[in-house]
Structure 1
Amino acid sequence: MSLCTSQRPIMPDSSSSSSPPPPCSPIWLLPHIKLHFFARIRRFLRLKAARKRCGSSGGVDVASSTARGVNNEVVVQALERESEDESAVLQRSVKKLHFGSWLEKEMAVKEIEKLAREDGKTRKFLAQLGVIPVLVAMAASEVATQRRVAVTALIELANGTYTNKALMLEAGILSKLPQNIDTVDELTRREFAELLLSLSSLANNTQFPLASSESTLPFLLSILQSSSSVETKELCLGTTYNISTVLDHAGALVSSGFLQTLLTLSTTKELSEKALATLGHLVVTLMGKKAMENSPMVPESLIEILTWEDKPKCQELSAYILMILGHQNSTQRERMAKSGIVQVLLEVSLLGSPLAQKRAIKLLQWFKDERQANMRPHSGPQTGRIAMGSPVNPREAQEGKKMMKNLVKQSLYKNMEVITRRANIAAVHSSSKLKALVISTSSKSLPY
């Protein structure tokens, strides 16, 4: 039995220039009909806007009006031809993408990439025509050229469009990531990393299925641990940073081995800032903090980053992580002190950025309070505890305080000399500045 028997016949409309499609159109014609409809709508809107622009200016005399009328007609015809050409390219490309051979599909994808680069409306219109699922399927092709052009087109379609990104995730683009990056070339790695970075902007939403994806984190980690280019690793670090903004993802990142990799990359100046920013998200979680405390690279690598005077942002992030690790943790502060952090903090507190100075001073205050607490019950002048039979001479007590103050000033002056040598400050300027600082410094502001 024919499928057309249950449908009402559609009578042709004599007022219309084109007859509607027959009620029993084959299934494969439906996308073409939809494409033709959208093309006519776009053409109508463009011609309408062109006529409105051309007819908005008023005339003064008949001759000028006639001339403008001719010019307007020429503009309208030119826009009409342009619209017809673009619509023809669009129709042809989408039709070949859906029903063409593999070679035709590849050529169609290149045309779609050019069209998607125009504006946001074109990108949304292409998504409405159903090109995204086909491109996502092509992204997993075994043919390198087809896979590359498909990923490039997806990058253009995802540019600035939330809906298109959600459609790509819904079509399963995360499952199309290469499971073994050794099988793809460097350019393909970079393009996949760029597309993944664009999609990771949805990490704060439920549309980004990180938990259900088995290839996203292994793909990122394998590139970060490989010999890929710095540009490709930067893209992957940006994706990792976006994922780490959701604290629920911290457990998956730590258990996958990202923390140690991020610590290793943080020692590379080109990648340090993004790696430290991601570590700053992980360290505020319980699992991330414990893993960082047990790492053999902590705190030495973070203290080394504090000495990077040409990377103030890295100094700020490193000081922030050290503050989180050392907060109410005497064991970590003891490890930091043995690693020589106090001298480095002195340098940062004088020569670092305002934020780095603030964090360095806070850390120094912790070490100062802890040192005073350790020294008070053992040795040194004790206030409030006077031995029986030993009268206190006010003159001797004053001389003792003066002597202690001189010793502390000498110790601080030596530290300042070390700082000036490392900072390569001019000798005359630094000497006068540091001497003035030593004279005006009291024992209450010392880090010990």
Structure 2
Amino acid sequence: MSTPTSSSSSSIWVLSNIKLQFFARIRRFLQSKATRKRCEPSDRFDTAKNKTEPDNKVENFETVQVTEKHKEKEEEEEEEESVIMMQRTVKMLHFGSWEEKEVAVKEIEKLAKEDVKVRKLITELGVVPVLVSMAVSPVNSRRQAGLTALIHLADGTYTNKALIVEAGILSKLPNTIDLVDESTTSKLAELLLSLSSLANTQFPLASLDFLPLLRNILETGSRSFDTKQCCLGALYNLSTVLENAGPLVSSGVVPFLLEVSSVKEVSEKALATLGNLSVTLMGKKAMENSSMVPERFIEILSWEDKPKCQELSVYILMILAHQSSLQRKKMAEAGIVHVLLEVVLLGSPLAQKRAMKLLQWFKDERQTRVGPHSGPQTPRFAMGSPVNQIEAKEGKKLMKSLVKQSLHRNMEIITQRANAAGESSKLKSLIISTSSKSLPY
């Protein structure tokens, strides 16, 4: 029993010493600031004495000087009151009752909103561990107060975010939100989004224990779009680091990302995350095994009002189709060719470029093999081989016929859409010839 007591006394002494050093530094700063302000009026007075001025101007100057000194005194008093208030607040947070802690947290929220420097000064007083313990408290009022304060302290400073993570909050958060109200869930998502920005810095997130919580929030359909956007933003930040792809896929986020990608309000961030995961073996395999692929991405290709989503969707389709004849077959059976033709005509420049590349792969599918760095490429047939030559000719005819039929079938629909959007001039040049040769590949 003696060891914990001595350890507790030692920690309190260290904390008190830190507080004293910190506030001594604040006082020195305020004193130097006040000294500089007091010097400025005297300089102006010396300058005025060197000039010959009427007595009334001298009197006015003395009046202004007195007023400035009065203002300086008021500012010093206000700064001194702020320091005293901060001292009292931190003391209440460390040593007060739970009711006093909640009051202190609200005061810290106000101080944290003022300036980044103030936020850093507050964390130097060792308030983060106390706030983390409140953020994971089962009592709703304490939990919300702790989360709100941590969100404000983490705003705009990586140092504070690192201190919050080092305090162990990621491993202390619950895995589910069944007993948490909407407001607390929103704050949890916002804090996780802020902390996830550390993933691509010199302070990487060593633990991804909070992934089940993010997945649980995404899985709950009653949550708001803002909350989902925060969770998707956190997943995107984590997916930018290749080493995190394994834990992300293992946690089962791919099916949820595919599901929410069909919701236009949050689709872009979900597709961007899937795009990062698709370049890894585990991520690509998880998408290939999903029953929603490739139909989900082909559906998104038709979103003319979401060009960024189109670009991301065709990018993922290119990765899935590369070196996979099975995936290309599934895409062809799902009707991807005529959708790609629409993107070529009406999509953004980047979406058009990617769609044309993917169309080229389907065009050469019957006569090519997949190269190491691109889509299907023309193989080198043996000279004098009539069988290969016949197959090549048949493949060309089949692909030309497919493209021609698809173009005829969709030309009327595309023309109507283009006329409605003011794109008739662009289509006229492409509709002159309905053969596959009119395409720019």
For the pair 1:48 / 2:35, whether they are aligned, the reply is yes
1:26 Cα shift?
A: 6.8
Tell me the percent identity.
Answer: 59
* Residue matched to 1:145: 141
Q: 1:220 to 1:81 in 2, by over 3 A?
A: same
Q: Name the SS of the counterpart of 1:105 in structure 2.
A: helix
Unpaired stretches in structure 1, ≥5 consecutive residues: 1-24, 375-383, 387-403
2:334 is matched with which residue: 328, 339, 347? 339
1:87 Cα shift?
A: 1.1
Larger radius of gyration: 1
Q: Name the SS of the counterpart of 1:308 in structure 2.
A: coil
Aligned residue type for 2:27: R
Q: 1:147 to 1:165 in 2, by over 3 A?
A: same
For normalisation by structure 2, the TM-score amounts to 0.82
Residues 252-279 of structure 1: per-residue CA shift (max 9 Å, x gap) = 0101101111000101111100000000
In the alignment, the residues of structure 2 paired with residue 408 and residue 109 of structure 1 have an alpha-carbon distance, to the nearest angstrom, of: 66
Residues 413-447 of structure 1: per-residue CA shift (max 9 Å, x gap) = 443223234x26349974x7645423356654559
* Residue matched to 2:237: 242
Residues 54-98 of structure 1: per-residue CA shift (max 9 Å, x gap) = 566554643344233212211211111111221121111011111
* Residue matched to 1:217: 211
Q: 1:327 to 1:429 in 2, by over 3 A?
A: closer
1:328 Cα shift?
A: 2.2
**Is the Cα–Cα contact under 8 Å of residues 55 and 72 in structure 1 kept in the other structure?**
no
1:51 Cα shift?
A: 3.1
Which has a greater percent of helix?
2
Superposed CA RMSD: 3.1
Aligned residue type for 1:292: M
2:432 is matched with which residue: 425, 439, 442? 439
Aligned residue type for 1:75: K
In the alignment, the residues of structure 1 paired with residue 39 and residue 160 of structure 2 have an alpha-carbon distance, to the nearest angstrom, of: 32
Higher mean displacement: 291-300 or 66-75: 66-75
| Aligned counterparts, 1:18-417, within 5 A | 30=17, 33-34=20-21, 36-51=23-38, 57=44, 58-59=47-48, 61=53, 62-205=58-201, 207-211=203-207, 213-214=208-209, 216-227=210-221, 228-371=223-366, 412-417=407-412
In the alignment, the residues of structure 2 paired with residue 34 and residue 411 of structure 1 have an alpha-carbon distance, to the nearest angstrom, of: 76
**Is the Cα–Cα contact under 8 Å of residues 283 and 321 in structure 1 kept in the other structure?**
yes
In the alignment, the residues of structure 2 paired with residue 52 and residue 313 of structure 1 have an alpha-carbon distance, to the nearest angstrom, of: 59
Aligned residue type for 1:135: L
In the alignment, the residues of structure 2 paired with residue 44 and residue 358 of structure 1 have an alpha-carbon distance, to the nearest angstrom, of: 64
Q: 1:335 to 1:40 in 2, by over 3 A?
A: same
Aligned residue type for 1:425: N
Q: 1:52 to 1:83 in 2, by over 3 A?
A: same
In the alignment, the residues of structure 1 paired with residue 327 and residue 400 of structure 2 have an alpha-carbon distance, to the nearest angstrom, of: 30
Unpaired stretches in structure 2, ≥5 consecutive residues: 1-11, 370-383, 387-398
**Is the Cα–Cα contact under 8 Å of residues 282 and 288 in structure 1 kept in the other structure?**
yes
**Is the Cα–Cα contact under 8 Å of residues 240 and 278 in structure 1 kept in the other structure?**
yes
Q: 1:32 to 1:186 in 2, by over 3 A?
A: same
**Is the Cα–Cα contact under 8 Å of residues 344 and 353 in structure 2 kept in the other structure?**
yes
1:204 Cα shift?
A: 1.7
Aligned residue type for 1:329: S
In the alignment, the residues of structure 2 paired with residue 284 and residue 411 of structure 1 have an alpha-carbon distance, to the nearest angstrom, of: 31
Residues 184-216 of structure 1: per-residue CA shift (max 9 Å, x gap) = 1111111111111111111023534343x43x1
Q: 1:31 to 1:99 in 2, by over 3 A?
A: farther
* Residue matched to 2:9: none
For normalisation by structure 1, the TM-score amounts to 0.80
Q: Name the SS of the counterpart of 1:141 in structure 2.
A: coil
* Residue matched to 1:8: none
**Is the Cα–Cα contact under 8 Å of residues 280 and 320 in structure 1 kept in the other structure?**
yes
Q: Name the SS of the counterpart of 2:353 in structure 1.
A: helix
1:296 Cα shift?
A: 0.7
Q: 1:191 to 1:74 in 2, by over 3 A?
A: same
**Is the Cα–Cα contact under 8 Å of residues 338 and 406 in structure 2 kept in the other structure?**
no
* Residue matched to 1:378: none
1:410 Cα shift?
A: 7.5
Q: 1:163 to 1:290 in 2, by over 3 A?
A: same
In the alignment, the residues of structure 2 paired with residue 406 and residue 301 of structure 1 have an alpha-carbon distance, to the nearest angstrom, of: 26
In the alignment, the residues of structure 2 paired with residue 175 and residue 408 of structure 1 have an alpha-carbon distance, to the nearest angstrom, of: 54
* Residue matched to 2:395: none
In the alignment, the residues of structure 2 paired with residue 436 and residue 222 of structure 1 have an alpha-carbon distance, to the nearest angstrom, of: 51
